[in-house]
């Protein structure tokens, strides 16, 4: 079974926002990478260590590169957070209902990340 944590962050996010994950579009990719990097910085602010120093530059960066050994426990939550937040930053929906749904999904992703960090830290201290 393929380890999805070895997928390119840029490709996964492209797919999540409705673009072809394998098609390079220099103009869009610059904007998408900026939104991804903003999302990663926000994850660092939520407590995921040194992630704020990580930058998606050329699309070869993977989730494993981002999370390293220390943060694998939060992979699914971090991936969801980056994808949803990037979508909201890159291509905010025009529909109020869709925007509200994505905002709610982002709140849940934020809660999940923070809860996973708290549980992990509590287990380390025990």
- The strand pairing partners of 70, in sequence order, are none
pLDDT band at 3 (very low <50, low <70, confident <90, very high): confident
Domain interval for residue 17: 4-125
* Predicted pLDDT of residue 98: 95
Q: What's the pLDDT tens digit per position in 25-59?
A: 888 899 999 999 999 999 999 988 777 789 999 99
What's the number of domains the chain is made of?
A: 1
Contacts of 50 (CB under 8 A, 6+ apart): 44
């Amino acid at each position: 079974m393929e380890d999805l944590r070895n997928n390119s962050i840029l490709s996964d996010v492209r797919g999540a926002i409705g673009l072809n994950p394998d098609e390079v579009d220099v103009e869009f990719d610059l904007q998408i990478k900026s939104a991804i990097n903003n999302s990663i910085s926000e994850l660092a602010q939520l407590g995921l260590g040194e992630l704020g120093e990580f930058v998606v530059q050329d699309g070869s960066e993977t989730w494993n590169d981002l999370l390293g050994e220390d943060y694998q426990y939060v992979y699914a939550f971090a991936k969801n957070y980056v994808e949803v937040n990037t979508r909201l930053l890159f291509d905010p929906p025009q529909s109020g209902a869709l925007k509200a749904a994505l905002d709610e999904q982002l709140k849940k992703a934020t809660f999940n990340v923070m809860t996973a960090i708290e549980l992990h830290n509590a287990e380390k201290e025990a």
